[in-house]
């Protein structure tokens, strides 16, 4: 199982074994990772699952589509080059070790 590392708002890290095919958001929700709100349940319509992806993994992710890009323009915390919606990142074996940082606020 791929391991996803979530850097929480307080700077601590939660490392979770994720099921391939699940999203980074679903994995966080199922393991009670604080800071990922996911108000829309992963439908890519609210941007409350915003995360900052570590630079070394950005090239392994497909670019955000138009809908994700539009939502990222309105996130509560600053949009940065590594900003992604965690509902749009599907866990694969190649993403083992993926590190995402949770922003200060989602809403």
| pLDDT at position 107 | 82
The CATH number of the domain covering residues in 3-101? 3.10.20.30
Mean pLDDT by groups of 10 residues along the chain of 107 residues = 97 98 97 94 92 96 96 95 97 98 94
Mind giving me the DSSP string for 50-90? EEEE-HHHHTTSPPP-HHHHHHHTT-SSPP-TTEEEGGG-B
CA distance linking residue 42 with residue 44, whole number of Å: 6
Q: Report helix, strand or coil for 27.
A: helix
SS3 of the chain: helix, strand, coil, percent, to 5: 20, 20, 55
CA nearest neighbour of 10 among 107, 101, 87: 101
| pLDDT at position 102 | 98
Domain locations in the chain?
A: 3-101
**How many other CB atoms sit within 10 Å of the CB of residue 64?**
17
């Amino acid at each position: 199982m791929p391991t996803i590392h979530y850097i929480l708002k307080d700077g601590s890290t939660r490392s979770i074994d994720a099921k391939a095919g699940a999203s980074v958001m679903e994995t966080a929700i199922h393991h009670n990772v604080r800071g990922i709100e996911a108000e829309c349940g992963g439908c890519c319509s609210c941007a409350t699952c915003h995360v900052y992806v570590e630079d070394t993994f950005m090239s392994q992710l497909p670019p955000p589509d138009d809908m994700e890009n539009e939502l990222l323009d309105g996130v509560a915390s600053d949009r940065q080059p590594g900003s992604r919606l965690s509902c749009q990142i599907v866990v694969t074996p190649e993403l083992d070790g993926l590190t995402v940082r949770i922003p200060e606020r989602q809403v």
